C-alpha cells in the first residue's frame, strides 16, 4: 500500500487530499467549467443568466423572510424563538436524511469513476471519504434554501453577536455530517449483507422509498407529538408549556437531538452553553464520521465489487415471438416518446427525481391533513375557510398548488441532459429536431399532468373544492404546465449536460434543473403580482381568471413555438 514508516501518516493524508480534490473537481466539473469559461469562453453567458435567475427568485425569498419574521415576533415574547432555529435546522437535517439516500447510494456504489478508483492503491475509507466530501458539499447547496434564511433572519432580528455568526458557520459546516454518516452506515451495511448485484435498480427504488416513508413517518410522529397538547391538554398544561423557555425547542428537536445541540450552539454563541453544545455537535459528528470510515474499511469494497456486473437470462426467441416483438413501424414521434418513457422509468434516479417528485408534494399535503391533530380547528379547516372566502382565491390557490406539484420537477429541464453520451444517436437519426423535441415535450408534459391530476384529487378530497372550481384550477394549471415545461426544455437545450458518468448529475445535480426552477418561481411570482394588481383595481373575479388564462395560454403558445424554433437552431450546434 502506501510508503513505509514515518512518511506513512503524511503520505496518507496527502493522498487523501488528492483523492478528495480529484473527486470534487470531477463532480462539480470545476476544471471543465474553468476551461469553458476562460479558455473556450463558451459559457460566459451563463453568469448573467444565473444572476437573473437569482434575482427572479428574490421576491419569493423575501416572502419566506417575512414569514420567519412574523413567527419570530409571535414566539419571542414567550421565549420560544429558538424553536424556529431548531425547526429550520431540523428541516435541513431531515432533508439531508431523505435526499441523502439518493446521493449516498449513487455516489458510493453506482458512479462510474469507481471502476477507476478501486484498482488504485487507495484504502476503501479514502475512496469513501472522497465520495462523502462530494455529497457533503452537495448537501450544503441543497439545505441552504431551508436553513440559511432562518439562521440569518434570526441572527439579524435577535442581534446575534460575533459568537452567533461564528458558531452559525461552524454548525452549518457540520450540519450534514451526522445525518449523512447515519445514511452511509445504513447503506454500507445493507449493501454488504444483501446480494444486490442483479437487482441494483430495484434496490435503489425500494431503499429510497422506504427511507422517504421513514422520514415522513418521523414527521408525522413529530406533528402528532407537537399537537398532542392541543385538544386534550388543559389550559394549565398549555400555559406551562409556553412559559417554560425552550420547551418548544426541546419538543421540536426531540426527534433528532443534534438539531437541539446545533440550535443551542448557534443561539448560545460564545456563552458556556453555546460552546458546550458546539463541542458536542462537532464531537459527535466526528465520532459518526470515524465510525463510517471504520465500517467502510471493513465492508465498503465487499459490497461494491461485482456490483457493476449485470446479467440477463439467455433465451432464444421463437420466430413467432420475434415476429410479435419486432415493431411494424411506429410513427417517429411515438418511437422517440417510447424511448424517453422507457429510459426515464427504468433509471431509478430519473424516476425518483422526475416522476416520484410530482406525487411527493400531494402526498406531503395528505400527510399534513391526516396528522392534523385537531381535525375541527386545525390547519386544514383554517385553509378551507381561507380558501372558501372568495372563489377567485380558491381557484388561484388550487391552480398554484397543482402547478407546483406538476411542474416543479426536473423532467423537462433535464430532458436533453438525460441522454448523456448517447445524444449522438439523436443527432444522426434522420428525424427533424422539432419532431424529436415534440416527443420529448409530450413526455415531460405527461409527467406534469400526473402531478396536476394527483394534486386535483387531493384538493377535491381534503379541501372540498367544488367541481367547477376544481375544473377551472386544473384548466389553469394545465395551460401553465405547457409554459413551464417549454421553459424548462429551452433552458436545458441551451446548455445540455451530456458528459455525466453518474445519472444523478443529469437530473439532481444539473444546474439547468435549478435554473428552470428559478425561472418557474419567477414566472409564478410575476403572475402573483399581476393578479394582485388586477384585484387591487377591483376587476371582477371571473374577468381576472379570464385574463390569467389568456395570458398563460398566450405565453404557452409562444414558448412552445420558441422551443421548436430553438431546437432547429440548437440541435446542429450541440457537438458530441
Partner 1 sequence: MIKLSNVSKSYNRGKIKAVDDLTLNVDPGEIFGFLGPNGAGKTTTIKMIVGLLRSDAGRIFVEGFDVATDGLKAKQVTTYVPDYPAVYERLTGLEYLNFIGDVYGVPRKERLERIGKWLDIFELAPVVTNPIQSYSHGMKQKIVLTAALLPAPRVMVLDEPLVGLDPRAAHQIKEMFREHCDEGKTLFFSTHIMEVAEKLCDRIGIIHKGRLVACGTMEELKALDRTEKSLEGIFLELTDK
Q: Give the binding site for partner 1 (CB under 8 A).
A: 39-41, 310-317, 319, 322-323, 325-332, 334-336, 338-339, 342-343, 346-347, 420-422, 424-425, 427-432, 572-573, 575-576
Please report how close the Cβ of residue 27 comes to partner 1 at its closest, in angstroms. 21
Alpha helices in 80-231 (DSSP H): 82-109, 114-117, 124-157, 162-174, 177-193, 200-227
Query: What gap in Å lies between CA 394 and CA 384, rounded to an integer?
Result: 9
Using the minimum distance from each CB to partner 1, give the nearer residue, 325 or 538.
Answer: 325
Largest CA distance in the chain: 83
Query: What gap in Å lies between CA 448 and CA 483, rounded to an integer?
Result: 11
Which position has the grid cell 391530476?
453
Please report how close the Cβ of residue 330 comes to partner 1 at its closest, in angstroms. 5
Using the minimum distance from each CB to partner 1, give the nearer residue, 32 or 186.
Answer: 32
Backbone angles phi, psi at 439, to 5 degrees: -65, -40
Please report how close the Cβ of residue 310 comes to partner 1 at its closest, in angstroms. 4
Using the minimum distance from each CB to partner 1, give the nearer residue, 234 or 327.
Answer: 327
Please report how close the Cβ of residue 572 comes to partner 1 at its closest, in angstroms. 6
Using the minimum distance from each CB to partner 1, give the nearer residue, 342 or 375.
Answer: 342
Please report how close the Cβ of residue 344 comes to partner 1 at its closest, in angstroms. 9
- Whether the CB-CB separation of 106 and 186 falls below 8 Å is answered with no
Query: What gap in Å lies between CA 434 and CA 136, rounded to an integer?
Result: 40
Using the minimum distance from each CB to partner 1, give the nearer residue, 8 or 330.
Answer: 330
Query: What gap in Å lies between CA 129 and CA 108, rounded to an integer?
Result: 10
What are the cell numbers at 541?
Answer: 373575479
Please report how close the Cβ of residue 562 comes to partner 1 at its closest, in angstroms. 22
Exposure of 312 by Cβ count < 10 A (0-12 exposed, 13-18 middle, 19+ buried)?
A: exposed
Using the minimum distance from each CB to partner 1, give the nearer residue, 236 or 327.
Answer: 327
- Nearest Cα neighbor of 285 from 267, 307, 259, 311 is 259
- Whether the CB-CB separation of 216 and 367 falls below 8 Å is answered with yes
What are the cell numbers at 308?
Answer: 457493476
Using the minimum distance from each CB to partner 1, give the nearer residue, 498 or 545.
Answer: 498
Please report how close the Cβ of residue 205 comes to partner 1 at its closest, in angstroms. 13
Please report how close the Cβ of residue 334 comes to partner 1 at its closest, in angstroms. 8
Please report how close the Cβ of residue 574 comes to partner 1 at its closest, in angstroms. 9
Query: What gap in Å lies between CA 155 and CA 165, rounded to an integer?
Result: 8
Using the minimum distance from each CB to partner 1, give the nearer residue, 29 or 338.
Answer: 338
Using the minimum distance from each CB to partner 1, give the nearer residue, 287 or 429.
Answer: 429
Query: What gap in Å lies between CA 201 and CA 206, rounded to an integer?
Result: 9
Please report how close the Cβ of residue 325 comes to partner 1 at its closest, in angstroms. 6
The DSSP output letter for 300 is I
- Nearest Cα neighbor of 423 from 412, 433, 413, 434 is 433
Classify 120 as helix, strand or coil: coil
Angle between the N-to-C axes of helices 379-388 and 391-407, in degrees from 0 to 180, rounded to the nearest 10: 120
- Whether the CB-CB separation of 103 and 110 falls below 8 Å is answered with no
Using the minimum distance from each CB to partner 1, give the nearer residue, 313 or 538.
Answer: 313
Please report how close the Cβ of residue 416 comes to partner 1 at its closest, in angstroms. 14
Using the minimum distance from each CB to partner 1, give the nearer residue, 362 or 410.
Answer: 410
Using the minimum distance from each CB to partner 1, give the nearer residue, 128 or 336.
Answer: 336
Angle between the N-to-C axes of helices 82-109 and 177-193, in degrees from 0 to 180, rounded to the nearest 10: 30
Number of helices and strands in the chain (H, E): 26, 0
Please report how close the Cβ of residue 335 comes to partner 1 at its closest, in angstroms. 4
Residue 295 CA: distances (Å) to CA of 100, 186, 226, 232:
18, 10, 36, 46
Amino acid at each position: 500500500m502506501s510508503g513505509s514508516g514515518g512518511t506513512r501518516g503524511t503520505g496518507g493524508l496527502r493522498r487523501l487530499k488528492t483523492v478528495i480534490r480529484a473527486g470534487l473537481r470531477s463532480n462539480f466539473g470545476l476544471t471543465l467549467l474553468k476551461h469553458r469559461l476562460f479558455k473556450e469562453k463558451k459559457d460566459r453567458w451563463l453568469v448573467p443568466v444565473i444572476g437573473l435567475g437569482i434575482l427572479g427568485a428574490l421576491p419569493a425569498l423575501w416572502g419566506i423572510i417575512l414569514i420567519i419574521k412574523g413567527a419570530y415576533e409571535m414566539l419571542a415574547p414567550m421565549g420560544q424563538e429558538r424553536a424556529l432555529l431548531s425547526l429550520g435546522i431540523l428541516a435541513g437535517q431531515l432533508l439531508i436524511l431523505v435526499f441523502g439516500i439518493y446521493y449516498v447510494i449513487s455516489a458510493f456504489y453506482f458512479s462510474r469513476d469507481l471502476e477507476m478508483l478501486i484498482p488504485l492503491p487507495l484504502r476503501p475509507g479514502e475512496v469513501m471519504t472522497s465520495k462523502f466530501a462530494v455529497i457533503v458539499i452537495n448537501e450544503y447547496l441543497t439545505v441552504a434554501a431551508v436553513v440559511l434564511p432562518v439562521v440569518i433572519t434570526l441572527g439579524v432580528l435577535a442581534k446575534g453577536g460575533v459568537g452567533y455568526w461564528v458558531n452559525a458557520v461552524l454548525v452549518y459546516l457540520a450540519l450534514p455530517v451526522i445525518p449523512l454518516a447515519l445514511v452511509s452506515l445504513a447503506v454500507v451495511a445493507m449493501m454488504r449483507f444483501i446480494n444486490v448485484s442483479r437487482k441494483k435498480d430495484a434496490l435503489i427504488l425500494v431503499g429510497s422509498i422506504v427511507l422517504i416513508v421513514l422520514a415522513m413517518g418521523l414527521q408525522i410522529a413529530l406533528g402528532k407529538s407537537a399537537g398532542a397538547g392541543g385538544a386534550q391538554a388543559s389550559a394549565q398544561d398549555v400555559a406551562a408549556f409556553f412559559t417554560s423557555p425552550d420547551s418548544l425547542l426541546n419538543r421540536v428537536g426531540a426527534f433528532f437531538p443534534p438539531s437541539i445541540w446545533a440550535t443551542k450552539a448557534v443561539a448560545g454563541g460564545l456563552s458556556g452553553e453555546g460552546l458546550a453544545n458546539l463541542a458536542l455537535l462537532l464531537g459527535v459528528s466526528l465520532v459518526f464520521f470515524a465510525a463510517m470510515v471504520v465500517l467502510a474499511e471493513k465492508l465498503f469494497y465487499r459490497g461494491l465489487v461485482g456490483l457493476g456486473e449485470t446479467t440477463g437470462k439467455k433465451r432464444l426467441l421463437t420466430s413467432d415471438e420475434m415476429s410479435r416483438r419486432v415493431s411494424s413501424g411506429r410513427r417517429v414521434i411515438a418511437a422517440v416518446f417510447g424511448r424517453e418513457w422507457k429510459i426515464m422509468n427504468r433509471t431509478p434516479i430519473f424516476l425518483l427525481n422526475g416522476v416520484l417528485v410530482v406525487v411527493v408534494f400531494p402526498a406531503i399535503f395528505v400527510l399534513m391533513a391526516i396528522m392534523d391533530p385537531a381535525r375541527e380547528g386545525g390547519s386544514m379547516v383554517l385553509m378551507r375557510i381561507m380558501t372558501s372566502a372568495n372563489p377567485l382565491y380558491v381557484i388561484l390557490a388550487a391552480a398554484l398548488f397543482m402547478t407546483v406539484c406538476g411542474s416543479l420537477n426536473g423532467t423537462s429541464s433535464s430532458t436533453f441532459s438525460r441522454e448523456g453520451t448517447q445524444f449522438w444517436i439523436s443527432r444522426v437519426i434522420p428525424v427533424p429536431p422539432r419532431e424529436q423535441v415534440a416527443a420529448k415535450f409530450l413526455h415531460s408534459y405527461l409527467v406534469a399532468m400526473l402531478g396536476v391530476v394527483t394534486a386535483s384529487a387531493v384538493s377535491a378530497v381534503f379541501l372540498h373544492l367544488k367541481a367547477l372550481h376544481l375544473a377551472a384550477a386544473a384548466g389553469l394549471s394545465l395551460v401553465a404546465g405547457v409554459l413551464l415545461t417549454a421553459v424548462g426544455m429551452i433552458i436545458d437545450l441551451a446548455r445540455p449536460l451530456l458528459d455525466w458518468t453518474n445519472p444523478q448529475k443529469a437530473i439532481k445535480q444539473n444546474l439547468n434543473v435549478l435554473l428552470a426552477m428559478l425561472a418557474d418561481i419567477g414566472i409564478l411570482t410575476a403572475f402573483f403580482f399581476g393578479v394582485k394588481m388586477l384585484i387591487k383595481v377591483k376587476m371582477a373575479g371571473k374577468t381576472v381568471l379570464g385574463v390569467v388564462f389568456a395570458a398563460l395560454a398566450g405565453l404557452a403558445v409562444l414558448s412552445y413555438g420558441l422551443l421548436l424554433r430553438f431546437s432547429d437552431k440548437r440541435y446542429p450546434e450541440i457537438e458530441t
